[in-house]
Amino acid sequence: MSIILKNISYIYMAKTPYEKAAIKNINIEIKHGEFVGIIGHTGSGKSTLLQHLNGLLKPTTGLVSVDGQDINLKDEAARTAKRKVGMVFQYPEHQLFEETVYDDIAFGPRNIGIDEDEVDRRVRKAMNFVGLGYDEFATRTPFQLSGGQMRRVAIGGVIALEPAYLILDEPSAGLDPRGRDEIFGQIIKMYKNTGITVVLVSHNMEDVARMANRLIVMNDGEISLDGSPLEIFRDSQAQLKAAGVDVPPLTSLMNKFKQRGLAVDNTVTTMESAVQSLLAAVGRR
């Protein structure tokens, strides 16, 4: 049970003066139950890679399979396999269009021919997952909600399709800190409770470090690092810099302490552990 990308390359505007290989010879396997973070600067190929995971882009060369099925074939089996992959785009709230929150979340399941009883069950479940109370929100228009709430409606619409793999492209962009914490809180809860596989693209290193158990760093269309966030932030800071991404602010701060000769642990990913490490280091002096 996994998504496998085998020798994937994608060339934009082939055979024109603007020809550009957006991703080159990518080989990865995203296993069921993983929480994968993907980071990389703008133009590193993250979004192109993402769009291959559910067949939105067809690789110029190479093979994409979901649970063993080649998703770029034109048969029913390929369509079914693609539906296992739910995609939440950047600024998904721009894609809301129905008159009520309920109808917006129900749009996907209805569209694939699911009967109304099942649609109702799924909408309620999805709203519960994303933390929107059914009684309070179901009949409201999605367009007068806060940014964080609108985004949760949009994510709910993808959840209602009950994907086995959930792909999120910058789910916290443009949200205030509270909205960001809400969204990530829901994603973590869903991950823990349902075992859904999550692939998260983010510029925010801190969030990736905190949540993902595997980190993929993209640079110039290739995978430059692939491993646990802890190891990468500890051992590969030079490569991270070369890939144009920053270590999380907390790691950066702990590094500065280390450079000043304070024996702190610079692999910590939470405030509490950073404070404990600092207290221990100061206490030892």
Partner 1 sequence: MEEFIIVKNMCHIYVAQDGKQVKALDDINLSISKGEFVAIIGANGSGKSTLAKHLNALLVPSSGNCHVNGLDTTDLENIWAVRQVVGMVFQNPDNQIVATVVEEDVAFGPENMGVEPGEISARVTEALHVVGMEDYRYHSPHLLSGGQKQRVAIAGVLAMQSSCLVLDEPTAMLDPKGRQEVLSTVCQLHQDRKITVVYITHFMEEAVVADRVIVMNCGKVVMEGSPAQIFSQVIRLKELGLDVPVAAEIAHCLRQHNINITEGIITDEELVVAVCR
Residues 6+ apart with CB under 8 A from 145: 101, 137, 153
Using only C-alpha atoms, the chain has a radius of gyration, in whole angstroms, of 21
Give whichever of 194 and 270 is closer to partner 1, judged by the CB atom.
Answer: 270
Give whichever of 13 and 63 is closer to partner 1, judged by the CB atom.
Answer: 13
Note whether 179 binds partner 1 by CB under 8 A.
Answer: yes
Site string for partner 1, 44-83 (x = CB under 8 A): ----------------------------------------
Which of 111, 193, 271, 284 binds partner 1 (CB under 8 A)? It is: 271
Please identify, among the stretches 27-35, 60-68, 95-103, 171-179, the one whose residues bind partner 1 according to the rule CB under 8 A: 171-179
Note whether 224 binds partner 1 by CB under 8 A.
Answer: no
Give whichever of 121 and 178 is closer to partner 1, judged by the CB atom.
Answer: 178
Other beta carbons less than 10 A from residue 214's beta carbon: 18
Note whether 249 binds partner 1 by CB under 8 A.
Answer: yes
Q: CB of 48: closest distance to partner 1 in angstroms?
A: 15
Which of 144, 193, 238, 284 binds partner 1 (CB under 8 A)? It is: 144
Note whether 41 binds partner 1 by CB under 8 A.
Answer: yes
Per the CB < 8 A criterion, the answer to whether 209 and 269 are in contact is yes
Per the CB < 8 A criterion, the answer to whether 195 and 218 are in contact is no
Which of 58, 178, 189, 192 binds partner 1 (CB under 8 A)? It is: 178
Size of the site for partner 1 (CB under 8 A): 35
Residues composing the chain: 285
Which of 173, 185, 195, 241 binds partner 1 (CB under 8 A)? It is: 173
In the complex, the residues that contact partner 1 under the rule CB under 8 A are: 41-43, 141, 144, 146-148, 173-179, 203, 244-246, 249-250, 252-253, 256-257, 260-262, 271-272, 274-275, 278-279, 282
